[in-house]
Amino acid sequence: MSSSLEDAKISSENLANNLAGVKASIGAAEKEALRKKGAVNLVAVSKTHGPETIEDAIQAGQKIFGENRVQEAEAKWPDLKERNSDIRLHLIGPLQRNKAALAVSLFDVIETIDRLKLATALTRHMEEIGRRPNCFIQVNTGEESQKAGILPRETDAFIAKCRTDLNLPIVGLMCIPPVDEEPSLHFALLREIAERNELPELSMGMSADFETAIQFGATYVRVGTAIFGPRSDYWQSKVA
């Protein structure tokens, strides 16, 4: 009897093909945008996918992964990281303050700093734990009420506070454009805010629009479906 997880699991061959295809598209987009080869890092978004699938991606050469839930990452990644020491794990989903310490231990990059209380908690936990994951500030470029992120007009002041008052290792900005809008305006806005604050990294672009994001200066693209296929709810239901 096969489980629904096995039914949903992508074959290692298809996964390797998808990964190679995404990497080729990134390379072509870098060239087209006159960016340096290798300027764009691929974050493989493995949320909802099980450890066997992730292991296939690691075997195919992928080293940077993204997860959107701390608990799901805690269930999946400690073993995988122990066996694969050069993995870099990014948190790309909302972070609650009561999970901030866990996030500092588990992740190498935290992309979703979106409020002062969280930033303050992260500073304290980094000091206590002795680990300083690089941080991105999430910007709500579409000013959507249901979406996390700092409003564009408040971002300069927030960056300054995180850097100066809290001494957080802020390296860049991250955004998720509104689904029904042209993403390039949002990518351009994010780049503009990063440039005037001298932040080198931009995390923007997903399966549907990563090539556009690369045109607008993305240094990290977060790609899930184009690599792993459709998401199952196996892991999310397991840790919910």
Closest CB to ligand PLP among residues 191, 222: 222
Closest CB to ligand PLP among residues 68, 123: 68
Mention every residue, 6+ apart, whose C-beta is less than 8 A from residue 165: none
Closest CB to ligand PLP among residues 57, 206: 206
Smallest distance, Å, CB 208 to ligand PLP? 6
Smallest distance, Å, CB 27 to ligand PLP? 18
Q: Is residue 190 within 8 Å of 11, Cβ to Cβ?
A: no
Smallest distance, Å, CB 48 to ligand PLP? 9
Query: 222: helix, coil or strand?
Result: strand
Q: Which helix (H) or strand (E) holds 19?
A: helix 12-32
Closest CB to ligand PLP among residues 68, 140: 68
Query: 91: helix, coil or strand?
Result: strand
Give whole-number Cα distances, 140 to 104, 113, 145, 151, 187, in Å.
23, 11, 9, 5, 11
Closest CB to ligand PLP among residues 97, 147: 147
Smallest distance, Å, CB 49 to ligand PLP? 11
Smallest distance, Å, CB 70 to ligand PLP? 13
Q: What DSSP assignment string belongs to 124-149?
A: HHHHHHT---EEEEEB-TT--TTS-S
Positions in the binding site for ligand PLP (CB under 6 A):
45, 47, 68, 92-93, 176, 206-208, 222-226
Handedness of CA 30, 36, 37, 38 (dihedral sign): negative
Structure tokens at 213: 């994001």
Smallest distance, Å, CB 57 to ligand PLP? 14
Closest CB to ligand PLP among residues 1, 179: 179
For ligand PLP, the nearest residue by Cβ is 224
Q: Is residue 208 within 8 Å of 172, Cβ to Cβ?
A: no
Q: Smallest Cα–Cα separation from 102: which of 135, 80, 69?
A: 69
